[in-house]
């Protein structure tokens, strides 16, 4: 349940080249636009903390700061900074998920980051690693793609019906998974049903 709740409160995911300070990948969720002023202000706040931050980072790769109306978490690893902004504090395990993600990004893209000259094309598939660790497809626009060859459970059919009604009521051709469940009252089974439909290709994320 903690994992499901953590996913639902993610606002942005940003990966920054430490040397240049340029974001080589960024993604915002729930129809939001990335608040670059928030990120630059957060980085300035870290700089202002100076030695206190350095001491904290010696104990953990991941730093958490409450900045404006967001919780901002940063993981430093060699030549990259992974930043995730959230609506509220996540579960204690979330920092370990971030550190695993940062390690995988470094493992796959570390050499490209070292050679970074401003060209972002080498990093355009980084969202696949983000999805692997954070299941962010849950936060993007979703369309329904019917496939009569795929067997569906009763709970999956109920969720699909709920999604269709939601789109009809709002005159949309897409929906957000979070809208299918009352805030903070969904069960792990409901989250899992949506993940299953995404894996089966019935619910397909739309790039925003």
14: phi > 0 → left, psi -120 to 50 → alpha, else beta; which? beta
Q: Kindly state the tokens that stand for 106.
A: 């470094």
Domain residue spans of the chain: 9-138, 140-206
Band (6; pLDDT cuts 50, 70, 90): confident
Give the closest residue to 193 by CA, choosing from 160, 144, 145.
Answer: 160
Q: Give mean pLDDT, residues 114-138.
A: 90
Instruction: Please report the pLDDT score of residue 101 as a whole number.
Output: 96
Q: What is the CATH number of domain 9-138?
A: 3.30.450.70
The answer to whether 179 touches 166, Cβ cutoff 8 Å, is yes
Edge to edge, what strands does the sheet with 10-17 contain? 23-28, 10-17, 80-86, 70-77, 62-67
Q: Is the pLDDT of residue 51 over 50?
A: no
pTM over 0.75: yes
Contacts of 200 (CB under 8 A, 6+ apart): 147, 150, 152, 156
Q: Give mean pLDDT, residues 111-118.
A: 92
Please state which of the ranges 35-39, 153-157, 186-190 shows the lowest mean pLDDT. 35-39
The answer to whether 10 touches 134, Cβ cutoff 8 Å, is yes
Contacts of 201 (CB under 8 A, 6+ apart): 145, 147, 150
Band (164; pLDDT cuts 50, 70, 90): very high
């Amino acid at each position: 349940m903690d994992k499901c709740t953590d996913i639902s409160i993610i606002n942005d995911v940003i990966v920054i080249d430490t040397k240049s300070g340029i974001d080589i990948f960024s993604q915002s969720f729930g129809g939001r636009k990335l608040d670059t002023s928030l990120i630059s202000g957060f980085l300035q706040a870290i700089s202002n903390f100076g030695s206190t931050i350095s001491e904290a980072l010696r104990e953990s790769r991941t730093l958490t700061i409450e900045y404006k109306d967001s919780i901002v978490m940063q993981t430093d690893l060699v030549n990259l900074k992974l930043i995730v902004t959230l609506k509220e504090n996540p579960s204690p395990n979330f920092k370990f998920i971030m550190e695993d993600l940062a390690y995988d990004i470094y493992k796959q893209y570390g050499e490209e980051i070292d050679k970074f000259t401003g060209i972002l094309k080498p990093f355009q598939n980084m969202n696949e690693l983000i999805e692997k660790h954070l299941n962010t497809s849950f936060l993007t626009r979703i369309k329904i793609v019917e496939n009569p060859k795929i067997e569906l459970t009763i709970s999956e059919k109920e969720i699909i019906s709920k999604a269709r009604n939601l789109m009809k009521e709002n005159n949309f051709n897409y929906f957000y998974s979070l809208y299918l469940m009352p805030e903070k009252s969904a069960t792990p089974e409901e989250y899992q049903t949506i993940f299953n439909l995404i894996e089966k290709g019935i619910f397909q994320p739309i790039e925003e």
